Amino acid sequence: MTSGVQQIRLDQPFSDQKPGTSGLRKSSRQFETPHYLESFIEAILCTVPGVQGGTLVVGGDGRYGNRRAIAVIARMAAAHGVARIVTTTAGILSTPAASNLIRQRQATAGIILSASHNPGGPDGDFGVKVNGANGGPAPESLTDAIYACTQQLDGYQIHDAIDLNLDAPGEQSIGSLQIEVIDGVDDYVALMQKLFDFDQIRDLLSHNFPIAFDAMHAVTGPYAKRLLEELLGAPAGSVRNGEPLEDFGGGHPDPNLTYAHELAELLMGSDAYRFGAACDGDGDRNMVLGNRCFVNPSDSLAVLAANATLVPGYAAGLAGVARSMPTSAAADVVAKELGIPCFETPTGWKFFGNLLDAGRITLCGEESFGTGSNHIREKDGLWAVLFWLNILAKRREPVAQIMAEHWSRFGRHYYSRHDYEAIASDAAHGLYNRVKEMLPALVGQSFAGRTIATADDFAYTDPVDGSLTSGQGLRLLLDDGSRVVLRLSGTGTQGATLRVYLESYVPPSGDLNQDPQAALGDLISAIDALAEIKTRTGMNKPTVIT
């Protein structure tokens, strides 16, 4: 044993450290329980192959608990014989920048401290995500093994306390562990400069094209200021709420119309800006808005795919695209026209990793405001913003016109997600399991004036490694191509969250200018009647509608 290393014994293992859709996510209070964080980190360090003598990238979204966790990880990594930790000033590292850094440094793995779009602060949430050497979220086989390790852990090793200085770039050491503190923005910005035409975007922004970007007091502030204001010439103040705060200023750093409502009002209710965007806590999500135009994320993926060759990094075309199952089929229609494959994966970015690594896809996305490509192995909020700006710089048309032209060429997938948050867990599972049991009997039944053609619980066989993932959401596929999907969230920390995904396709010859809630109205009432959502949740409307 190295000197300075303490062996701490646990009276009993923590039973609740099962990672969800995107890492272990719990309340900050839970993470402050003695030995709680340490237990999960021990399980990571004991399970991830190559930790001894390896390099770890460590950083987070700046929320309450970030700095403490980095210090704990450094001390535990020293005890486990890790050779090098690469971390960042103030521990600020967005999820996409972490993915890039893991790849650039050929690191063994990354540990990202974030609960993404969940609120932060002492009364908010904290989270720990593990990424592999490809820069992507650990596959389920690895997170299952980490969980199994937590279940039988009887202690952990940790080096004596140190004063870790994260205030400026430099090198420090604990025993034989080297800790390198770098600026977390530089490498990411360099990657963006390789993919996009900065001159053209700068020219666009200099021609009466005011933009508003809302960093929601989360991790993207420093990245957005460097990219949009310093390098692309957007006027100071274009980046709003650009200072990362430990509690995100008390907000909910989730870029949607409900939680980014100030930005939404600016774009939807005034003509002050031509383009608006927001990112979430850890910078992997994006919401894109034009003047009086909301771009739904499923459509955004389809537009990026249809216009990809306008952007230098994608000028050679796309190998394929992928979307998560609940994401609308807008991208499928574009893929078909481009003659490239389109894959449908379970929810969560980890399922895109194998397809990206194997070169089968170039772009991928989720309805939950996540879009990304083969440039890294995470979804990437600012990348999507720059992609849109590059398209706008090439086409010089308003966002609303780009959407209208897209729909008149490919048809429109009316789409909405209704979230019922913080439902009593029993009620949510009761509702869900009841519908699950009904599935076989639903085929052939009428639903919202159509007929249910397929009713199943989505399962996915990975085309690259053959692994099977089941239980990924209840699907009602109707005979006219519309569908309704029910899922229980894997990222919430209070009770359960039910997500209802609604989709209906209108061809180019149909009515392309309806309000989505109206266009989906019959599906909304039919699923409420079938699943007894209002009565069983006791909620007469969803918490969030997107």
Can you give the binding site for ligand VG1, defined by CB under 6 A? Answer: 21-22, 116-117, 280, 284-285, 324, 347-349, 366, 368, 370, 489-491, 499
Q: How far is the CB of 283 from Co ion (least distance, A)?
A: 7
The nearer residue to Co ion, 368 or 482, going by C-beta atoms, is 368
Which of ligand VG1, Co ion, none sits in contact with 366, Cβ below 5 to 8 A by type?
ligand VG1
The nearer residue to ligand VG1, 155 or 490, going by C-beta atoms, is 490
Q: How far is the CB of 140 from Co ion (least distance, A)?
A: 19
Site for Co ion in 279-298 (CB under 5 A): 280, 282, 284-285
Is residue 116 part of the annotated active site? The answer reads: yes
Q: How far is the CB of 127 from ligand VG1 (least distance, A)?
A: 8
Which of Co ion, ligand VG1, none sits in contact with 17, Cβ below 5 to 8 A by type?
none
Which of ligand VG1, Co ion, none sits in contact with 80, Cβ below 5 to 8 A by type?
none
Q: How far is the CB of 115 from Co ion (least distance, A)?
A: 9
Which of Co ion, ligand VG1, none sits in contact with 349, Cβ below 5 to 8 A by type?
ligand VG1
Strand partners, 177: 174
Q: How wide is the angle at C-alpha 377 spanned by C-alphas 465 and 421, nearest 5°? A: 95
The nearer residue to ligand VG1, 285 or 536, going by C-beta atoms, is 285
| Phi then psi dihedrals of residue 322, to 5 deg | -145, 150
Residues 6+ positions from 77 with CB-CB distance below 8 Å:
45, 51, 56, 85, 177
- Indicate the SS3 state at residue 410: helix
The nearer residue to Co ion, 116 or 537, going by C-beta atoms, is 116
Is residue 361 within 8 A of residue 352, CB to CB? The reply is yes
The nearer residue to ligand VG1, 355 or 452, going by C-beta atoms, is 355
Q: How far is the CB of 95 from Co ion (least distance, A)?
A: 6
Q: How far is the CB of 283 from ligand VG1 (least distance, A)?
A: 9
Which DSSP symbol is given to 471? -
Q: Active-site residue among 39, 99, 114, 116? A: 116
Is residue 28 within 8 A of residue 124, CB to CB? The reply is yes
Residues 6+ positions from 261 with CB-CB distance below 8 Å:
none
- Indicate the SS3 state at residue 108: coil
Q: How far is the CB of 244 from ligand VG1 (least distance, A)?
A: 16
Q: How far is the CB of 517 from ligand VG1 (least distance, A)?
A: 20
Stretches 272-280, 341-349, 401-409, 419-427: which one binds Co ion (CB under 5 A)?
272-280
The nearer residue to ligand VG1, 381 or 411, going by C-beta atoms, is 381
367 binds Co ion per the rule CB under 5 A:
no
Which amino acid belongs to residue 199? D
Q: How far is the CB of 329 from ligand VG1 (least distance, A)?
A: 16
The nearer residue to ligand VG1, 201 or 355, going by C-beta atoms, is 355
Which of Co ion, ligand VG1, none sits in contact with 491, Cβ below 5 to 8 A by type?
ligand VG1
The nearer residue to ligand VG1, 142 or 204, going by C-beta atoms, is 142
Which DSSP symbol is given to 138? P
**Alpha-carbon gap, residue 73 to 173, rounded angstroms:** 13
Which of ligand VG1, Co ion, none sits in contact with 276, Cβ below 5 to 8 A by type?
none
Please count the CA atoms within 13 angstroms of the CA of 287 that sit on its side-chain side. Answer: 29
Which of Co ion, ligand VG1, none sits in contact with 22, Cβ below 5 to 8 A by type?
ligand VG1
Which of ligand VG1, Co ion, none sits in contact with 94, Cβ below 5 to 8 A by type?
none
Is residue 148 within 8 A of residue 141, CB to CB? The reply is no
For residue 270, the Cα-to-chain-centroid distance in whole angstroms is 29
Question: Which string of b and e fits 270-285 if b means at least 16 CB within 10 Å?
Answer: eeebbbbbbbbbbbbb
Sign of CA dihedral 241, 208, 256, 198: negative
Which amino acid belongs to residue 118? N
The nearer residue to Co ion, 103 or 129, going by C-beta atoms, is 129
Kindly report the three-state secondary structure assignment for every residue of 223-257: HHHHHHHHHCCCCCCCEECCCCCCCHHHCCCCCCC
Select from 116, 150, 374, 537 the one that contacts Co ion (CB under 5 A).
Answer: 116
- The structure tokens listed for 355 are 């397809």
Stretches 111-119, 331-339, 416-424, 456-464: which one binds Co ion (CB under 5 A)?
111-119
Looking up tokens 């405001």 gives: 369
Distances in whole angstroms, Cα of residue 275 to Cα of each of 230, 239, 330, 394: 18, 12, 22, 15
Q: Which residue is nearest to ligand VG1 (CB)?
A: 116
Which amino acid belongs to residue 17? Q
Is residue 338 within 8 A of residue 332, CB to CB? The reply is no
Q: Which residue is nearest to Co ion (CB)?
A: 116
User: Catalytic positions, please?
Assistant: 116
Interface residues with Co ion (CB under 5 A) are 116, 280, 282, 284-285
